[in-house]
Structure 1
Amino acid sequence: MSHRKEIKQEAVARVKDERAAKRARRDELKAMTPDERTAAKAADRTAARDAKKASKDERAEVRATMNRAERRALKRRERVYRKVKHRPRRAVGWGVTAAAGVGIVVLAAPYVGGLSRVASLTFTDDTAEAAAAREAALDVAESISDEGMVLLKNDGDALPLDGGVNVFSFASFNLRLGGGGSGGTSVAGAPTLFEALEGQGIAYNEDLYATMQEAGAQHTEGSSNFLVQIAEMATGAAGTAEPAPDYLTDDVMAQAAEFSDTAIVVLGASGGEGSDLSPDQLRLTAEERALLDTVTAAQDDVIVVVNSGNQMELGFLDEYPEITAAVWMGTPGPQGAVSLAKVLSGEVNPSGRLTDTYAYDVTSAPGVENMGDHDYTNVGRSFLEYEEGIYVGYRYYETRYADDEAGYLDTVQFPFGHGLGYTDFAWDVAEPVLADEKVTVDVTVTNTGDVAGKDVVQVYFSAPYTDGGIEKSAIELAGYAKTAELAPGASETVTVEFAVQDMASWDTEAGRYVLEAGDYEISARLDVHTPVASSTTTVANDVAYDVDPDTGVAYESRFDYVEGDLTYLSRADWEGTYPTAPDGTEAASDEVLALMDPVIEPAEGDAPAYGADNGLVLADLAGLDYDDPAWDAFLDQLTLDEQIELFSYGAYKTAEVERLGVPSITMLDSPAGLNSLFSAIDAAAYPTEIVVASTWNDELAYALGESVGREASAYGVEVWYAPGMNLHRTALGGRDFEYFSEDPLVSGKMAAAVVSGSQDQGVPTTIKHFVLNDQEVNARSGINVFASEQALRELYLQPFEIAVKEADAAGAMSSFINLGGSWAGGNEDLLQGVLRGEWGFEGFVSTDAVLGSWMDPQLAALGGNDVMLAVFPSATVKATAAAAEADPVGMGHALRDRVHALLFTVAKTHAVG
């Protein structure tokens, strides 16, 4: 019996025993009286908690005695066990939801009014202005995909190509140009890889092409419909799996060898909204490995193209000496094949850099331990624990292996920031200058090679760490800059500047940022692991930052209930604090249950004024400050019913108040180009955000926002639901393609550039999903997410803070998730305390799609969420009216504030003026 089969059988037996025990206990409980049953359940919960703690301690002790191989074997057994345990649940879930989505017209019969409202959206996409905007968008998309390609490996200068090439793999017929779901767009008609190769004058083996066609390979175009894409992802129907390479007979391979000794093999993975990926989906299949075995046996130089928006396990690149080059193309949008061909031919010198760490084993990231489907035993709610704390991506790997280079090289294949090119650069790094609370680093970059190219300068800092003190990554990105294209021999000096406070750490106990005394290393690097030059500056005494430097609002720790009763990963004790997966016995505490079902007491005082006649229309307020007194006079004119409608009708099309000149505005997804869920629109597509970020070029990110803004203006679209700003917490996130990076600084800078580009065209954006929406499993059922406040502040909130402060983001979209047990869309600490208070945000906040009862409109209104994205708003209107009747003072003032924020943004759009 194989070892793998033995492990699986062991897991199956274990799960069967557990289920049998649960059934037996259920039978025992049924036989009890009600009072006995209540007492027994309470005793069971206490025993389960005690057992969990004892088991955790015991596992830690056992693991401490194991060597590396034994720990890996144990982790593998636990992974298989969890997979077997949760398989029945995974077989349904979003598969059923997506199928229901496809049939939404049938299910929505009672709500036909709401559905017809959003289905009636029309766009001016057939004008000369619209056509010109789409044409210009193609150039923007191609510029981004040109610079977003990352050359991972190029042994012996295998690239650029100098002759014809054999193209293998069914995946080469259908490149993954985007992701699935609301973050996807239509790329129908995009050039194929073979067309792009022809366009670059690269001859490909047409006989081999015909052989693959005869074996079943074909060019297809996936659906552009959001709901169908989700269904395809959930049911595994998206894309075409690589078959066994039986069709590559000896004769076929002999003909290929005669045609060329160079081959291209495309391999990839698909992500999409609604489901996450399993580790196996990010590894070679048996068929793909067989394909590589066949190709490498007959070809001297094999070039692998990695076509995935998620980090794949790429250790196989090291296993085959014949694989001499590898290019990561991500999910690069409509011109992706063209950009790839230009990189292969040498017309484009690749200058992209990875925005994630590529580990040999994707499950080596500590966040993977808790990822997945975990439910409470005492309430119908799922939960997710970010026990890894701040140690996400390179922050984990660079810190965990800071003093173990051999271990690092055994674990990390391609570091964060890695990327090669076809020329060489030399850097002259000046000493950092510290002045006016800023750090400035000048780097003169000289092209010392033979071809023109661009380079990326990355600057990092390393802060002092005290064992057992505030957690700190061994290194953090402080800033970056990309050169212009430099001809051979040409030079350019780039400047990277960042605030001294950026090197401070969040002290949860003190409720502020602290720059601790000690030595700080500032280094210019090719990637996070490859220094070019470094220097050290010493901070003599601790420096406390008690207030936000931009708003002057005092910091405070606000999220103790989000931290929960968890042990977070600490570099002081890697083994003892390493995350452990839930064991299925977890119950929600009384505190969490109270957060999930808050008691709202009616407010005392006077209700606001309604229905005044002050002679104002919304256009009169365009351009006024948020706190201008004219706003009070205008808001006094609205009736309660009008305010409820403005608050409730937030799905793609807002409510109109004709008598006050309040227009209805249209709001559309997605970060990769405008799309419409229920109605047709002819709009351009763009590379996904991970490719945008991989350019490390803020100007290109701005160009994307600018281009979409011009399109939106041409089509009559006022607000763009973008950009996506959650983090790549692990490689398994279904929407990682739709987000920029594992790093909050890169994510924030790229997002700020996109926001500025769009808003400079008069099209507000909504930065999303605010916050902790980093996993797809259970995200749409109100999952409770727990994280340390330090991780919240330093990682997950930081991209949004950058976008608000540097780009004056006009809108935000709150997430489905619950912080601890408190819904993000009704969380006053998040929306009022941090977003509007500390950061000074003056825009509007929309919910994500209203899908469940936890997305309570009363909580939203009181907590600072301005509009409900309710496709079927009748229930929201009814619930909001009932809440206003029960609490006329509290809800009255809350609705007035919500409408104020919404209309302040509406007044900035093209619909007013």
Structure 2
Amino acid sequence: MAGKRKKKFRIIMSSLLSILLIIGVGGNVALSYYSDVITAYFTKIDITTPEAKDARAHSEEVSQQITDEGLVLLQNNDNMLPITTNKKVNVFGWSFTAPVYLGSGSGAADASTAVTPRAGLEAAGFEVNEQLYNDYIATGIERPVSGIEGYDWTIPEPVASEFYTEERMKQATEFSDTAVIFLARAGGEGKDLPAVLDGPDTYDPNGSTMGPSGERFGNSDDLDPNKHYLELSNRELGMIDAVTKQFDKILLIVNGSNTFELEWVNDYSQIKSIVTVAGPGQTGFASLGKVLSGELNPSGKTVDLFATDVLDAPAMQNFGDFRYVIDNGDGSYSAAVDKNNVPLTYVNYAEGIFVGYRYYETAASEGAINYDEKVHFPFGHGLSYTTFAQEVVPNSLTWNETDISVDVKVTNTGSVDGKEVVQLYYSAPFTGQIEKSSIELAAFTKTDSLKPGESETVKLTFKVEDMASYDDNKVYSSTGSYVLEQGEYQLMLMKNSHDKIADAGSKTLAQVVYDSTGRSSDQQASVNQFDDLVTGQGSIEAYLSRANGFANMDVLNTSDTYTVNAAEGATEQVRGKVVDAAFVDYINSKRYDIPADEQENAPTTGVANGKMLSDYVGVDYNDESWNEMLDQLTVQELVSLGTLGGYRTLELASVGKPATVDYDGPAGISALLSKDPMSGVAFPSETMLAQTWNIELGEAMGDAVGAEAVAYNVSGWYAPGVNIHRSAFGGRNFEYYSEDGLLSGKFAAEVTKGYQSHGGFAYMKHFALNDQEINRVKGVLTWSNEQAIREIYLKGFEYAVKEGGAQGAMSGFNSIGNTWAGASPALLKEVLRNEWGFKGIVNTDFFINVSYPYMIADLAFRAGNDILLTGVAPFGVPEINADSNDTLWAMRDNAHNVLYTVANSNGMENGISTDMPQWVVITIIVDVLLALGIITGFYFIFRKRKPDAQEVA
């Protein structure tokens, strides 16, 4: 009997130990498989080293300098500001207790220790009505989430009739006769701001991307289908009515990086002053306190035109969710999808070059609009506490065949110190052959701080060829080219995009066509590269033109509304276009068909030439000796280098290439995938930086982030963001500089230059035409013409390469026309490398093959996209056809780009430590203990021992 019990015990225990062994082995296999992700998760940037502390302290100083100059005083009636006496203030608006510091998604940064608005005011000597402040806290309202983990566009404010009681307002008026109204708007990655606030309560905290959901906070009264996110909500309007009935001295603060509708302010004479605070980052609200108290004189200017109705911009007719549909032939429609069931979505840039101020200024000049009715604040507008006189220095204009320069004398004619922005614009002749804006920003600069009565003479320069327009219709050449049309070109010294200070000069130029050697900054002539992408099936038939006073505005109406069959017999209303099966087949072919090999032989791989990457520091990119080192790379190394490019470049042992670390994002170093994701100093938003109009601060920011990167052992930086504020509703506008390509490009170049001065490489993003978030991960087909592509959407990137020396680029999720941006040789080879001279690394945006199947790796590699941002590798890493000669040759070229960039970077000295990660050490210890336990268990179960007396009996 005892023997049976013993046998049963052995079976049970051995089974348990065997299961434990299987679990242990399986766990180790899984840990090994996901080791990269686990290592990234547990990797923590050390901010405690002396180098890190010094770098962070400097970053905070630079952040403060940016917001000191980036706040914009939009209005200051009756000189309400600065407030120098009776500094007790009532601050109305729940958002004052929970402001918007930046935005959400990969462009976010840790603002947990940021200066709060209240702290900023109190540091400047203001006394905030604490009872009112605490009453807002007591409401229990929370800042809704918006970003890649879910969306809720509720505008958090208490119900006016319930909150602004007679008792509460009496307490406020007794506390102070001055009121501040604080409004805020958030934005983030993955979703654009709602143009209609009519969403049901569909918010899911686990990640649904629907919204707004006002019912979550009892805000259903704010879900008004007649309103959008960038105007006053019903509750905010109730608050403003309540405050303006009690106060005659009111300051409005608008906190957010998207332009807000402000025409309603004209209905309230009590609102004297308006200050905008785009994403302030770590220290920006300290600047706010200094501006309001007069310690600091505001000098920021707008980087976007403030329209009275933001929906009135031409781009808004083609911004948002548009889908291709199939006519079922029975009066019903179905969604068009590709062969991997990705919905076919699109967006039409039918406005062409007429984005932002280019439209409003041109339309006004043509008599098509009443400017004062359509525009509240121009592009480049901003007030000061002092006054300035600007004058063109007599006889200072130099205008030869290649260069233009003019001197401007700026004098502080007021009573306090201040800085002034100097803006030079040009007007090119409109012949009807190439579209032209009536006015374009040509050059800008900012003075030093000038004392009352003090003057400074600044020089503004640009090239004659910068006034050339792109002739995509091939009027002047057979290939398309930049052209200076014959006619009179005028230079104007402007206060902003609308108000002229003085004529700076004019000249009648002969026609110049840059179709042979190109412009002086081009490595090869710019010719039409996108015809095959943006013409033909699915493309736009006509673009907005200024001819006859914008008589063809109807071309903006490119979509109709259809009732489309949805799941389980339901239907939905969509805006879209009807296409046929042939169009779907065409897109499938463009997305998924990999051309047959043209190379007869595979490249040499895996030979032992004895070359090390350290031998190639400083070696010219085109030096033939690179081939000897590239021959050493094995096929597996080529594949691994290309496919495992998420937040790093891979180690290659055969050539001694160290691994390097890449991190997000535009507001500072951000370890997005780590357990403690936000590590670097939170810089202000790019919008705030651009509002300084001081490119020296751009270089200072890049320099400061670069110093932090060195302290954190980081080489690559996923920044700057260089897309365009095509619409006020862009979810990631806070990551981008402006609606203007020149302004954007100048800042992108300086930030890049500053960062790379420390040996790192900056990945400018998202290349290109990734100017809305809606449908981006569906490869949205973005239709434009080559003139707009080059003059508006590529210009900022062009400056980042040509003037900033950018050594990295991140391709977009979107498609340009019919082709994914990351698989476009026209974009990544012809324009980026051959025309602009780029010699760095091109990475994709976040790459998960199973989630974004249209991102075909083989096509990306062949197009010049060097590495894939596989941030959760090995999940989502694609299989590569290593038997394809063309793909192998492409990956060899891509490896050359990566090796060249790393060889000339701080990665050669500061590559990733090869020390064993702590989690691996812990795993080994656990494995050893587990193995010992299992062995010991089996030993005691099956050991032979002498029977005791009872067993013998």
Question: Are 1:724 and 2:641 counterparts?
Answer: no
2:670 corresponds to 1:675: yes
- The answer to whether structure 1 residue 822 and structure 2 residue 814 are counterparts is no
Q: Is the 8 A contact 2:153 2:194 kept in 1?
A: no
Detail structure 1 runs of 4+ shifted over 6 Å in the superposition. 108-111
1:644 and 2:633 are equivalent in the alignment: no
- Determine the C-alpha separation between the residues in 1 that align with 2:158 and 2:645: 43
User: Where do 1:109-508 residues align within 5 Å?
Assistant: 112-161=34-83, 162-163=85-86, 164-216=88-140, 230=147, 234-236=151-153, 240-244=156-160, 246-279=162-195, 280-377=228-325, 378-379=336-337, 380-404=343-367, 407-430=370-393, 432-467=397-432, 469-508=433-472
CA deviation string 1:753-790 (max 9, x = no partner)? 10001000111100100000000000011111100100
Query: Following TM superposition, by how much is the alpha carbon of 1:537 offset from its aligned partner in structure 2, in angstroms?
Result: 2.3
Q: Deviations along 1:620-658, whole A, 9 cap, x unmatched?
A: 111111112221111111111111111111001222123
Aligned to 1:795: 792
Amino acid at match of 2:74: L
Instruction: Measure the CA separation in 1 of the matches of 2:609 and 2:877.
Output: 27
Which residue in the other structure is 2:893 paired with? 897
- SS of corresponding position for 2:456: strand
The amino acid across from 1:493 in the alignment is T
Determine helix, strand or coil for the equivalent of 1:376: strand
Give CA deviations for 1:385-421 in whole Å, capped at 9, x if unaligned.
1101000000111111114497110000000000001
- Alignment-derived partner of residue 657 in structure 1: 652
SS in structure 1 of the partner of residue 621 of structure 2: coil
List aligned pairs for 1:32-51, cutoff 5 A: none
- 1:343-394 per-residue CA deviation (whole Å, 9 max, x = no partner) reads 1001110000000010011111111111111122243311111101000000
Instruction: Return the letter of the residue paired with 2:534.
Output: V
* Match in the other structure for 2:331: none
1:618 and 1:635 mapped to 2: Cα distance? 10
Cα displacement string for residues 851-898 of structure 1 (whole angstroms, at most 9, x for unaligned residues): 411111111111001001112444776521xx221x22x122111100
Corresponding position of 1:771: 768
Label 1:197 to 1:737 Cα distance change in 2 as closer, same or farther (>3 A). Answer: same
Tell me the CA shift for residue 231 of structure 1.
Answer: 5.0
Larger Rg: 2
Question: Cα distance, 1:608 vs. partner?
Answer: 1.3
Identity of matched residues, %: 42
- Assess, with a 3 A threshold, how the Cα gap between structure 1 residues 122 and 375 changes in structure 2: closer, same or farther: same
Alpha-carbon distance in structure 1 between the residues aligned to 2:615 and 2:148: 46
Q: CA deviation at 1:233?
A: 5.1
How many Å apart are 1:110 and its aligned residue? 12
In structure 1, how many angstroms separate the alpha carbons of the residues matched to 2:431 and 2:365?
15
> Residue 514 of structure 2 aligns with which residue?
545
For 2:380, give the aligned amino acid.
Answer: G
- Report the equivalent of 2:844: 847
Q: Distance in 1 between matches of 2:488 and 2:378?
A: 25
Deviates more, 1:166-175 or 1:728-737: 166-175
Give the direction of change, closer, same or farther, for the CA distance of 1:463–1:551 in structure 2 (3 Å limit). closer
Question: For 2:122 and 2:509, how far apart are their aligned partners in 1?
Answer: 63
Q: For residue 562 of structure 1, what is the amino acid of its counterpart? A: V
- TM-score where L is the length of structure 1: 0.84
Of residues 576, 590, 593 in structure 1, which corresponds to 2:552? Answer: 576
Shift of 1:229: 5.7
User: What secondary structure, in the 3-state scheme, does the structure 2 residue paired with 1:775 have?
Assistant: coil
Whether contact under 8 Å (2:422, 2:446) holds in the other structure is yes
Contact 1:448 / 1:489 at 8 angstroms: preserved in 2?
yes
SS in structure 2 of the partner of residue 558 of structure 1: coil
Aligned to 1:907: 903
User: In structure 2, how many angstroms separate the alpha carbons of the residues matched to 1:320 and 1:577?
Assistant: 34
C-alpha deviations, 1:48-97, integer Å up to 9, x for none? xxxxxxxxxxxxxxxxxxxxxxxxxxxxxxxxxxxxxxxxxxxxxxxxxx
Change (3 A) 1:619 1:876: farther
State how far apart, in whole Å, the 1-side matches of 2:243 and 2:192 are. Answer: 31
One-letter amino acid of the structure 1 residue matched with residue 62 of structure 2: V
Q: 1:565 to 1:686 in 2, by over 3 A?
A: closer
**Among residues 582, 587, 607, which one is paired with 2:579 in the alignment?**
587
Shift of 1:819: 1.1
User: How many Å apart are 1:133 and its aligned residue?
Assistant: 1.1
Aligned partners of 1:180 and 1:233 also within 8 Å: no
Number of corresponding residues: 794
Cα distance, 1:605–1:142 mapped onto 2, change above 3 Å = same
Helix, strand or coil at the partner of 1:746: helix
**Aligned residue for 1:871?**
871
1:209–1:234 CA distance, 2 compared to 1 (3 A): closer
Which residue in the other structure is 1:80 paired with? none
Residue of structure 1 aligned with 2:704, choices 707, 726, 735: 707
**What are the Cα deviations for residues 814-837 of structure 1, in whole angstroms up to 9, with x where unaligned?**
111111111111110111110001
SS of 2:879's equivalent? helix
Q: Is the 8 A contact 1:111 1:872 kept in 2?
A: no
Contact 1:425 1:448 in 2 (8 A): yes
CA distance in 2, matches of 1:522, 1:445: 18
1:514 maps onto 2:483 in alignment: yes
1:217 CA displacement: 6.2
| Alpha-carbon distance between aligned partners in 2 of 1:908 and 1:552, rounded to the nearest angstrom | 22
**1:712 counterpart letter in structure 2:** A
Secondary structure of 1:860's aligned partner: helix
| 1:784 pairs with 2:761 | no
Helix, strand or coil at the partner of 1:144: helix
Does the residue aligned with 2:65 lie in a helix, a strand or coil? helix
Query: How far apart are 1:840 and its partner, in Å?
Result: 0.7
| Distance (whole Å) between structure 1 residues aligned to residue 804 and residue 126 of structure 2 | 43
Separation in structure 1 between the aligned mates of residue 771 and residue 502 of structure 2, nearest angstrom: 35
Change (3 A) 1:278 1:877: closer
- Show structure 2 runs of 5+ residues with no match: 1-29, 196-227, 326-335, 338-342, 561-575, 910-953
Cα deviation, residue 538, structure 1: 3.0
User: Any idea what SS the aligned residue of 2:128 has?
Assistant: coil
Specify which structure has the higher proportion of helix. Answer: 1
Unaligned runs of 5+ in 1: 1-107, 223-227
Kindly state the Cα deviation for residue 555 of structure 1 after the two structures are TM-superposed.
2.2
The structure-2 alpha-carbon separation of the partners of 1:471 and 1:702, relative to structure 1 and needing over 3 Å to count, comes to same
Please tell me whether the aligned partners of residues 632 and 654 of structure 2 are also in contact (alpha carbons under 8 angstroms).
Answer: no
Deviations 1:644-683 (A, max 9, x none): 1111110012221234211111100010011122212532
Corresponding residue of 2:950: none
Q: Cα–Cα, structure 1 residues 643 and 531, in superposed 2: closer, same or farther, change >3 Å?
A: same
Aligned residues of 2:594 and 2:858 also touching (Cα < 8 A): no
Provide the residue aligned with 2:223 in structure 1.
none
Tell me whether 902-911 or 407-416 shows the greater mean CA deviation: 902-911
Aligned mates of 1:405, 1:350 — CA distance in 2:
34
Change in Cα spacing, 1:181 to 1:231, as seen in structure 2 (3 Å) is closer
Q: Quote the offset at 1:257 in angstroms.
A: 2.0
State the 1:552 CA deviation.
Answer: 4.3
